[in-house]
Amino acid sequence: MYEADTLEELREILGDCTRCQLCASRTKLVYGYGDPHARLMFVGEAPGRAEDAQGLPFVGPAGKLLDDLLTGIGMRRSEVYITNVVKCRPPGNRDPLPEEIDTCNPFLQGQLSLIKPAVVCQLGRIAAGVMMKRSIQISKIHGQRFIGPGYFNVPVFHPAAALRTPSTKDLLRADFDNLKKYLEEDETPPEPPAPEPEQMGLF
Ligand code: URA
């Protein structure tokens, strides 16, 4: 992990990043947005076209739905923190590659350790797989609360999936109600045991 005392310092270390090949095709790096002391943090997969153009996370159609889901539980995006597993748009919106995820992961871990959220909601299978360090089936575990290192993980469907399949929107709304409940319960997540060496890989 990189040494930084604030999100701004970590952003400076990230700089005009050329640590992986995504730098060649990106327009703007998308670091993150929101309250640096948020209790609820969202982690998506990677910037899309609108995010790459504006340098902000979830500002395209999926972001509009995210705002709508937040409104549904009485919250605004300025009260949460939103970022992605990788900070640059993969060409053609392909899935980020394991080496791109690995290279960017210290920055996600840095954001987590500076923000210290109580609940981290992973938007979609890729973010959930990276943060829970295993391959997951989002349809089986969405909306449930899992113990993470100092916070709870709550994987949900990616909002873009709900734009393609309207019935998924109802599942997302129900999962956001769960998020609100988890925040209100305000339980302290216990530290999990140190992972076995063979579990340290990304998937
Ligand atoms: N999809 C993501 O996963 N992240 C964004 O920032 C936008 C769309």
- The domain segmentation of the chain, as residue ranges, is 21-185
Does residue 62 have its Cβ closer than 6 Å to ligand 1? Answer: yes
Q: Is 32 in the pocket of ligand 1 (CB under 6 A)?
A: no
3-class DSSP state of 197:
helix
What pLDDT, on the 0 to 100 scale, is given for residue 195?
56
Does residue 157 come out as left (phi exceeding 0), alpha (psi in the -120 to 50 range) or beta?
beta
Report the amino acid identity of residue 29.
L
User: pLDDT tens across 49-58, in order?
Assistant: 999 999 999 9
Whether 159 is in the pocket of ligand 1, judged by its Cβ within 6 Å, is no
Distance 150 CA to ligand 1 centre (A): 24
pLDDT mean over 36-62 = 98
Per DSSP (E only), the strands in 49-125 are 81-84, 119-123
> Tell me: the pLDDT tens digits for 172-192?
999 999 999 999 998 987 675
Helix axes 98-115, 125-132, angle to 10 degrees: 70
pLDDT over 90 (residue 9): yes
Q: Once rounded to an integer, what is the mean pLDDT over residues 185-201?
A: 66
- Rounded to whole angstroms, how far apart are CA atoms 137 and 56? 28
CATH number of 21-185: 3.40.470.10
The distance from CA 124 to its chain's CA centroid, rounded to whole angstroms, is 9
pTM (2 d.p.) = 0.93
